[in-house]
Amino acid sequence: MRALIIDDEPLSLDYFQRLLREQPGVELAGKFTDPHKALAAAGEVQPDVVFLDIEMPEISGIELAKAIQQRAPQAKIVFVTAYREYAVQAFELNATDYLLKPIRKDRLEKTLERLRLDQTQNTAPPKPQDRIGQVCCFSSLQFRLESSGKLIEAKWRTARTKELFAVLLHHRRKPIRKDYILELIWPDTDPAKSVAQLYSTIYQIRKLADKIGLPLAIHNQANSYIMELQGIPIDAENWESDLLALSPLSQATLNQHLEVLDRYSGDYLGEEDYLWAEGERERLRALWLHQASAIGAFLKDNGQPTAALALYRTIQERHPYMEDTHFMLMQLYASLGARNKVTTCYEKLVKMVREEYETEPSAQIQTWYEAWQRQTIRS
């Protein structure tokens, strides 16, 4: 492992050099107090890791790290600082770690162990079956493998890591302000601590994305973040596009309409129950309901009551408080001669409207049910 160390204090450099020499497998490729010489050396040496002091006199360590990453993209950055509050900025640049001065030998060893692990993972041959081919938002947040199509759930470090990824995904391709994120995910946390947690969580998302084979980019723009999925599709987005592109419903296109409808496997992030996603959740639910109702009516009007019945049952499961759905089920059961089902469905409707709306079924439904009862008795 080739290393560069950069610090404007010669004594600190010498001390750090002695520590590194005691570590097996580490080659010190250069030490610098001059940031310009260090930058030039990084381009020539192409180090595996750069230990960089944040508090540099001519140029900040943060700015120097950005320049080094352009010259040596594979180099891992480990910030060194005497001030803990500066250390959190390390994660803005996807830094591997940070060390607090005075540097302890055991802490340095942990950092080197992490670097060796990253190096091993990065040099291992890629596994095409591990690449993510789709991000799935219906029902729960999952990922679909490109080759096998198998669904996997990522092992998020914390629930807030998962939620921050979901927030960035929800606002993909457009900036989302950091203060909005902090208020959304860390509303009751001390501001200084919440900023540190935000930077750390962004770092964890990047690390997880690398691990599961999800090629995303999270850009830091002024006071905002913006996430790009590098062309990886999202099931909810594709579903809506395919739904809107369908040809008019007919017997010839019925199977296409049913196939698209079936791909709606659950509400948008429904299992996650994020309040901020409720607007999008309801919008997509409304699209599904409109499509399902249209297909159900088509099946009923074209002599396919059994298929229509199955679809309206699904509608009732997802939208249990819709009076029209209960009425449609009653009519379908009646057409199939299922008398007990009609009665049960009407009684269920009466109970629902009384409990939920403190009223009675509409006059139209009551009139239809009474007429059906009289006809049933005569027959």
Digit-coded pLDDT (tens) for 168-207 = 999 988 899 999 999 999 998 888 788 878 888 888 898 8
CATH 1.10.10.10 domain extents, the chain = 128-228
For residue 32, how many other CB atoms are within 10 A of its CB? 20
Distance separating alpha carbons of residues 14 and 52, to the nearest angstrom: 14
CATH code of 235-378, in short, is 1.25.40.10
pLDDT value at residue 92: 57
The answer to whether 350 and 360 are in contact (CB under 8 A) is yes
Q: Which residue has the tokens 């470090």?
A: 157
Q: What is the pLDDT of residue 89?
A: 58
CATH 1.25.40.10 spans which residues of the chain?
235-378
> Distance between alpha carbon 207 and the CA centroid of its chain, in Å?
14
**Cβ atoms within 10 Å, residue 88:** 19
- State residue 249's pLDDT score: 97
What is the structure's pLDDT at 128? 42
Helix, coil or strand: residue 99: strand
Longest dimension (CA), the chain: 105
Architecture of domain 128-228: Orthogonal Bundle (1.10)
Residue range(s) in the chain whose domain bears CATH number 3.40.50.2300:
2-123
Which pLDDT score is estimated for 122? 55
Give me the amino acid identity at 298.
F
Q: What is the CATH code of the structural domain delimited by 2-123?
A: 3.40.50.2300
Which pLDDT score is estimated for 56?
A: 80
- pLDDT less than 70: residues of the chain: 83-95, 120-130
pLDDT at position 203 is: 83
Burial of 217 (0-12, 13-18, 19+ CB in 10 A): exposed
Confidence (pTM): 0.71
Q: Can you say how many angstroms the Cα of residue 138 is from the centroid of all Cα atoms in its chain?
A: 11
